[in-house]
Amino acid sequence: MTVSEIMQQIERKMSTSIDVLHRELGAIRTGRASAAIIEHVRVDYAGTPTPIHHLANVSVPDARQILIQPWDRSMVSQVEKALMKSDLGLTPSSDGQVIRLVIPPLSQERRLELTKMVHKRVEEDKVAIRNLRRDALEQIKKLEKDKELSQDESKRSQDQLQKVTDAYTAKAEKLGKDKELELLSG
């Protein structure tokens, strides 16, 4: 494997790590309604766990409410059950056609808990990024040891790897800071 292949692979993995972090942080409730809150909830549809947005129209009419309108009316009760079983801490109400999720305002205590959770998740992501850097570093050093790379090229590659790592770590920190700000100001 060449240095450029190693770098491409590492950037791809780091980018995926950031995408996952972004999705996970988006699912954390901020006191404002967002379709992302219910993204991870699965409904048993014909024996298959299916995301709600594959079975229903999900809309956010205002800052405190999510409307879920299943295309198949017979699915209303199953969607409602899936929402009750989820870890959202929200109680759905239904009129037989539309399910409403009302988002209560967050208490200051809950906001601080969520902020700690965000911080922990960002730290986990930064550790994952550093572990990816370590793996790439080992590959680069192996190329140098096997004489496929000069010392200068190895040093340049290691510096480039550090810059990429710093950039992705900064992205993770920015995502975390933005979410914390959203939580504390909401």
Q: What is the pLDDT of residues 63-113, one digit of tens each?
A: 889 999 999 888 898 999 998 888 777 889 999 889 999 888 888 888 888
Which letter does DSSP use for residue 123 in this model?
Answer: H
What domains does the chain contain, in order, with CATH numbers?
Answer: 3-26+107-185 (1.10.132.20), 35-102 (3.30.1360.40)
Q: How many CB atoms lie within 10 A of CB 106?
A: 18
pTM of the model as a whole: 0.70
Strands 48-51 and 92-94: unpaired
43 alpha-carbon distance from chain centroid: 20
